Structure 1
Amino acid sequence: MQQHRARKRFGQNFLHDAGVIHRILRAIHAKAGERLVEIGPGQGALTEGLLDSGAQLDVVELDLDLIPILQGKFAGNERFHLHQGDALKFDFAQLAPRPRELRIVGNLPYNISTPLIFHLLEHATRIRDMHFMLQKEVVERLAAEPGNGDWGRLSIMVQYHCRVEHLFNVGPGAFNPAPKVDSAIVRLVPHDTLPYPARDHRQLERVVREAFNQRRKTLRNTLKGLLDAPAIEAAEVDGSLRPEQLDLAAFVRLSNQLSQDTA
């Protein structure tokens, strides 16, 4: 069997703990006939179990050296389809002609996890759910609530699109090489109906980005380039609060006020 040394530039940490692998597969609970996509399958630790479910499995792998290893293990299975390429540039919509068809899985390299999640959210209408292994502190930010120091741009923009569930934590010993940080499994489920729909989600992104650029300042100060004090008040938001004190609904009201003011 070919050996592959994990590459630092790809942020590779290969999962090898059988108990953790089984627990992740149980959480995903894939079924025959489903459309699964695995991002960064590595040496196939999860791939075999996903295929055993009877699901159709597309895998997206960037590292050319891993391609022959994956082909050698799984190419004989007609439900296995390998795409060599960068997940950050991959068009996931091509795999899902129907809404809510894709189930995304991945042990994501820490250095691309946030941009990749934002890339996937662009295809949210095609996705049924996502299960990711991420750095534990990233999962804590994804699942954070207002008033918590972890509450910020990532929490708000992901929770705008998805329900977030922090499922369980995974220690460094489950990987080879062992990372210097703890990891966690998160489930993201895109909303069928957005709980707080923005008139223009790009304006929501602008408001959230500006608000958290200087998170220790009040909204009146951080948003002054976008919304003046009367506009913040018109959105039923207290301008003397700091951004981490506002919930998602308040940020959507601010963005809708901005959309109205710039219409």
Structure 2
Amino acid sequence: MKKKYYNNHFIQKKWSQVFLKDQNTIDTIIKTFNPKNHQKIIEIGPGLGALTKEILNIVDPNSLILIERDFNLVKRLTQMFNKKINVVYQDIMRINFFDLSHQVGQKLRLIGNLPYNIATKLIIYLFKYINVIYDMHFMFQKEVARRLYASPNNKEYGRLSVIAQYHCKIIPLLKIPATSFVPIPKVESIIVHLLPHTNTPYPIINIKQLSLLTKLAFSQRRKTLRNSLSILFDESEIKQEGINPTLRAENITISQYCILTAMLKNKLNLPSI
């Protein structure tokens, strides 16, 4: 198979690398993101610096930290910006954002064009650090974005919808055509703003138990709750909380999932996630 290059960089297919090339798209993303000098900004997967350059036209280099796992790109970024910027050579899934926030002394703003192959896994990982994140502006594959902000009674509504919306207000911002990238992906993308709740509309619950509950419900989404959650609840227990046990997973609101999760607090021998 012939190797693909862009701007003299060998494109790593295993990491789903695509690079923004359309300047109008880049300008619109930065305008929407609206970076400020007093903020600490983390760019995930900066690639060849298309967004980075424009951010640095607005803020000082010490306001920005880049996290990149491709060592060849780390070297290029360091050369491109004359070592004036902090480039961290690391897999994003190994970054401790509690430590990073403590080091910079404030909550973090995150921005990035997330690789399609890890986007869902990464966003779940970042929710563990939601208390030190001010907001996130990420580019997702259109199908993943729609799952993030989907409402109940919708085929896109699923486990990711529940967990994401429990943590954040999800705001779709911009549709990005595939032709904005090199190489051109087979899908369109959407920029999504994830804004952590300051006054959460939901009760505080055990996230691991919410994860367990939604995994059971949505892995059998054509089944009714009384069947898909039968290893956790009797039908009568579900009814006692005012929830119809004949509904399917996609018909249950986030608030109702929180109620069901709270019911697990005193149950023993829960199945592993």
> TM > 0.5 between the two?
yes
Aligned residue among 14, 36, 43 for 1:38: 43
Native 8 Å contact 1:99 1:126 kept in 2 = no
- Distance in 1 of aligned mates of 2:232 and 2:135: 34
Aligned: 1:71 with 2:78: yes
Structure 2 equivalent of residue 235 of structure 1: 241
Q: 1:48-127 residue pairs with structure 2 within 5 A?
A: 48-55=53-60, 56-77=63-84, 80-97=85-102, 101-127=107-133
Aligned residue among 7, 25, 31 for 2:12: 7
Matched residue SS, 1:37: strand
Q: TM-score, normalising length from structure 1?
A: 0.95
Q: 1:156-171 residue pairs with structure 2 within 5 A?
A: 156-171=162-177
Native 8 Å contact 1:129 1:188 kept in 2 = yes
- Distance in 2 of aligned mates of 1:130 and 1:246: 26
Native 8 Å contact 2:142 2:190 kept in 1 = yes
The alpha carbon displacement at 1:214 in A equals 0.6
1:223-252: CA deviations, max 9, x gaps? 001111122112221100001001100000
The alpha carbon displacement at 1:260 in A equals 3.6
Aligned: 1:132 with 2:138: yes
- Distance in 2 of aligned mates of 1:255 and 1:198: 10
For 1:205, the aligned partner's letter is S
The alpha carbon displacement at 1:199 in A equals 3.0
Q: 1:149-160 residue pairs with structure 2 within 5 A?
A: 149-160=155-166
For 2:248, the aligned partner's letter is R
Native 8 Å contact 1:35 1:57 kept in 2 = yes
1:102-149: CA deviations, max 9, x gaps? 000010000000111011111101001000011011100001000010
Judged with a 3 Å threshold, the aligned counterparts in structure 2 of structure 1 residues 112 and 146 are, in CA distance, closer, same or farther, namely same
Q: TM-score, normalising length from structure 2?
A: 0.92
The alpha carbon displacement at 1:14 in A equals 0.4
Report the count of equivalent residues: 261
Native 8 Å contact 1:99 1:127 kept in 2 = no
Judged with a 3 Å threshold, the aligned counterparts in structure 2 of structure 1 residues 39 and 262 are, in CA distance, closer, same or farther, namely same
In percent, how many aligned pairs have the same letter? 38
Native 8 Å contact 2:147 2:158 kept in 1 = yes
Structure 2 equivalent of residue 208 of structure 1: 214
Structure 1 equivalent of residue 261 of structure 2: 255
Native 8 Å contact 1:235 1:257 kept in 2 = no
The alpha carbon displacement at 1:189 in A equals 0.4
1:148-197: CA deviations, max 9, x gaps? 10000000000000000010111110000000011110000011132112
The alpha carbon displacement at 1:100 in A equals 6.2
For 2:238, the aligned partner's letter is I
1:20-64: CA deviations, max 9, x gaps? 000100111001121000000000000011122215111110011
The alpha carbon displacement at 1:3 in A equals 1.4
Matched residue SS, 1:96: helix
Listed as ranges, the gaps of 5+ residues in structure 2 are 1-5
- Distance in 1 of aligned mates of 2:209 and 2:74: 41
Structure 1 equivalent of residue 202 of structure 2: 196
Matched residue SS, 2:35: coil
- Distance in 2 of aligned mates of 1:221 and 1:90: 39
